[in-house]
Structure 1
Amino acid sequence: MQAAKFAHPNPSFYVELKKRINDYFKTTGQPMTGGSRILSKAIFLVILLVVLYTTIIFFTPSSNFISILLCMLLGAVASAVGFNVMHDGNHGSFSNSPIVNRLAANTAEFVGASQYMWNMKHNVIHHAYTNIDGIDDDIDAEPFLRMAPTQKKYKMHKFQHYYFWFFYAILHFFWTFISDFKKYFTGKIGATPIKKMKLRDHIEFWVFKAIYYGLFIVIPVVRFGWLPWFIGFAAFTMTAGLILSIVFQLAHTVSDTAFPMPQAPAYTLEDEWAVHQLRTTANFATQNKFICWYVGGLNFQVEHHLFPRISHIHYPAINKIVKQACKDYDVTYIEYDKMYQAIGSHIGFLKQMAHEDQKAA
């Protein structure tokens, strides 16, 4: 599928918005990266991940119930590392140092995901063409889930707002054992070819996969046997999958977000890129301090999509600037005050997709 083309209006909303954001950083004198705040959070989360893993493997509690709870907690902390460390590192917003950003991005490898494939899927495709069916791989869960009005509807979809929890729970497993390899061997993410991998990229892909499987399969199986490993790993991977899925889906697949499709023959969209991002993206629970801390600012998804190279540490501050600009330019801004409201909207969206007829692409 050819790349979609965005409108270029004059005056441009995005040009004005960038000016206001740049003025904010000039006035405050702050760097756009995370600085010591994100570094201290990263160190805490990585140490916690290591401590939990070491406790489970080498200082295993006598209680099976506690062991399973620790495996679930490991999945929750692994997700937090992804949200707070890997995500900013991959966007180059963790640090001013490219080396530090690369190290932060590579934490993805230790929780099972290929940093290279994530960068292509997320940074290159999803951020550029959000919610465009046929390009944005994040809304492609066919045939099990219908995530856009242009996708084919199957009979089983009338139940998808009930069974989606299962598919979200297996996301991490699917990602680390199937999806990365499918992208690697086909050379594509959906219909989009990935950037040609260098020798270093191939070596890193296989070495890090071997390390992950060694840490999360070989060592636990040797220590405990197949059945205890399976139970513990299921608790870990399903917790991580459920958390990762919910956080990312609440950002784009809710009742109020749009799913624009480019129009032939030039494959153009009616909005400029920034307005497209605002129409296809939603915030949630931005006043909840724990959620803001835990999800690495990904509940400020609007600000993240507009300014992905700005660290999530700054999202609460620039949130006010973006809202004011949207008000001045009469641009839609989508936000849910509470997380349960966003979850309810997502479930409502899935129910809507289960009954709405397919629209022409």
Structure 2
Amino acid sequence: MATKLKFINTSQSAFFATVRGRVDAYFAQRAISPHANRAMWAKAVFFLGGYALFYGLIFSNHFGPWVMLGLAIGLGVFAACIGFNVSHDALHGAFSARPWVNKLLGGSFYLLGANPYVWKITHNVVHHTYTNIPGHDEDIEVAPGLIRLDPLEKLQPWHRYQQWYTFPLYALASLSWVLRKDYVKFFKSRIGHHDTANHPSREYIKLFVSKGLYYVFFLVLPSMVLSVAWWQVLIGFIVMHLAEGLVLGLVFQLAHVVEGTTFPLPDETGNVQDAWAIHQLQTTANFAPQSMLAAFFCGGLNRQIEHHLFPKICHIHYPAITAIVKRTAHEFGLPYLENCSFGSALYSHFRLLRALGRPV
């Protein structure tokens, strides 16, 4: 049985109490909700509408194979952006104060071919609690054996080259999600230390029905309706998911697997020597915090520090609370990791992959 972890350093609790009080005061003083505002709803409409537009253009049958291939790439990118900008907030309960709205918008995750129920376990519960802890946070177990993100994992000869072959493997993430990952996670008895042996009966139905419908809408119907061969439909499906997977993989990895982030180990009794909030600061990094494009397309995931500390606040407010979190971290002498641009974060990730692929 996996050891249940505990964050035991209660003497560090003053930081989170202070930063939470200041963030709460920010919203109270301005009499604004920490949930979605008009700008956030506009983003949701933009990405959901763009996704529908790409899908509709493909099914219009007015374009040749090469143009439809480009549309498939656009559809994959917009699917990833829906995940970042709509599904993610909704599944955290951050989009709206009304649970039914979050549940409805959380269903947009099905548009990625992914299962919201499984995601809430692996991401909301496990990853957000045990970030970067080997053996518990399965988000750092990307292609185990091929990619070494855990410093304790056995070093293999091919890891020496992982900084080169890892990025193409990220592109396979979405295909794995659609065809394999959700099923594997759903039927595991434990994810990290979290018991997942008993699921509600309705979730079995949702898993298989939603997957079946996804295959129908993205493989069966195109083969029946479009004036292209079945193998061209298959190529389009694969290319769409390669685009989606690359975008998803890069954005998620640049938040936790860059230079400066740590991979802390609990002791033999399962105790982690830091408070939970301090642990989040040590294992998480922001990137491109001043970029309006990153903020718009990444759904606030370029400000992962704020997201991990306040996952129930809608990401549209992260730019405003970033200064509060950063100032408070510095006041307490705590790390606040950030890369100034997407490119610098990408290069930092590359260097860390290279370092993890060689003996210490």
Give the TM-score, by structure 2 length: 0.96
- Is the contact made by 1:90 and 1:105 (CA closer than 8 Å) also made in structure 2? yes
Alignment-derived partner of residue 130 in structure 1: 131
Matching residue of 1:78: 79
Amino acid at match of 1:339: F
Aligned equivalents of 2:12 and 2:60: distance in 1?
Answer: 62
Following superposition of structure 1 onto structure 2, how do residues 138-153 of structure 1 map, counting pairs within 5 Å?
A: 138-141=139-142, 142-153=144-155
In 1, Cα distance between equivalents of 2:145 and 2:132: 17
Confirm or deny: 8 A CA contact 1:73 1:236 kept in the other structure: yes
Residues 347, 11 of structure 1: CA spacing in aligned structure 2 closer, same or farther, 3 A cutoff? closer
Q: How does 1:266-285 map to 2 (within 5 A)?
A: 266-285=269-288
Q: Does 1:96 align with 2:97?
A: yes
Code of the residue aligned with 1:316 in structure 2: it is P
Q: 1:315-330 counterparts in 2 under 5 A?
A: 315-330=318-333
Tell me which residue corresponds to 1:340. 343
Q: Is the 8 A contact 1:149 1:356 kept in 2?
A: no
CA contact (8 A) 2:258 2:349 kept: yes
Distance 1:15 1:191, change over 3 A: closer
Give me the whole-angstrom Cα distance separating, in 2, the residues matched to 1:188 and 1:232.
35
| Aligned residue identity for 1:235 | V
Checking the alignment, whether the CA contact within 8 Å between 1:283 and 1:300 is kept in structure 2 is: yes
> What do residues 320-341 of structure 1 show as CA deviations (whole Å, max 9, x unaligned)?
0001101110000000111100
TM-aligned CA deviation for residue 3 of structure 1: 2.1
Please report the RMSD computed on the Cα atoms of aligned residues, expressed in angstroms: 1.3
What runs of 5+ residues in structure 1 fail to find an aligned partner? none
Measure, in 1, the Cα distance between the counterparts of 2:190 and 2:266: 21
Unaligned residue ranges in structure 2 (runs of 5+): none
Question: Residue in 2 aligned with 1:43?
Answer: 45
AA of the residue aligned to 1:241 = G
For 1:22-61, list aligned pairs within 5 A: 22-61=24-63
Equivalent position amino acid for 1:115 in 2: P
- Deviation per residue, 1:257-302 (Å, 9 max, x gap): 01100012x3211211111000000000011111110010100000
Amino acid at match of 2:326: K
CA contact (8 A) 2:255 2:285 kept: yes
Q: CA offsets, 1:99-127, max 9 Å, x none?
A: 11001111111220000111001000000
Whether the 8 Å CA contact 2:12–2:275 is kept in 1: the answer is no
* Percent sequence identity over aligned pairs: 36
CA distance in 1, matches of 2:14, 2:118: 33
1:167-246 equivalences under 5 Å are: 167-189=169-191, 192-194=194-196, 196-223=198-225, 224-246=228-250
1:11 is displaced (CA, Å) by 5.4
Contact 2:13 2:275 in 1 (8 A): no
- What is the CA distance between 1:199 and its match in structure 2? 2.0
Deviations, residues 8-39 of structure 1 (Å, cap 9, x unaligned): 11652111111111111111111111132222
Given that 2:55 and 2:75 are in contact with CA atoms closer than 8 Å, whether structure 1 keeps it comes out as yes
Task: Assess, with a 3 A threshold, how the Cα gap between structure 1 residues 60 and 174 changes in structure 2: closer, same or farther.
Answer: farther
Read off the aligned partner of 2:262 and give its amino acid letter.
A
Alpha-carbon displacement from aligned partner over 1:38-96 (angstroms, at most 9, x marks no partner): 2221122111111111111233412x322211111111100010000000000000011
Equivalent pair of 1:303/1:318 in contact (CA under 8 Å): yes
Tell me how far apart the structure 1 counterparts of residues 13 and 264 of structure 2 sit (CA, whole Å): 22
Post-superposition Cα deviations, 1:335-358, rounded to whole Å, max 9, x if no partner, equal 01111000000000100100034x
Q: Deviations over 1:171-230 (max 9, x none)?
A: 000011101011122343356432732122222112211111111111122233321112
Aligned residues: 355
One-letter amino acid matched to 1:185: F
Secondary structure at 1:186 match in 2: coil
Using the alignment, how far apart are the partners of 1:117 and 1:216 within structure 2? 21
The residue aligned with 2:316 is 313
Give the equivalent residue in structure 1 for 2:161: 159
* Paired AA for residue 83 in structure 1: F
Q: Distance in 2 between matches of 1:11 and 1:313?
A: 27
From the superposition, tell whether residues 10 and 234 of structure 1 become closer, same or farther in structure 2 (CA, over 3 Å): closer
Aligned to 2:261: 257
SS of residue in 1 equivalent to 2:146 = coil
Distance 1:38 1:328, change over 3 A: same
| Alignment check: 8 A CA contact 2:75 2:240 kept | yes
**Cα pair distance change 1:209/1:24, threshold 3 Å:** same
**Residues 86, 108 of structure 1: 8 Å contact kept:** yes
SS at match of 2:301: coil
2:185 and 2:191 in contact (8 A); partners too: yes
Compute the TM-score of the two structures, normalised by the length of structure 1. Answer: 0.95
- Residues 208-257 of structure 1: CA deviation (Å, up to 9, x unaligned): 11111111111122233321112211210000000000000000000110
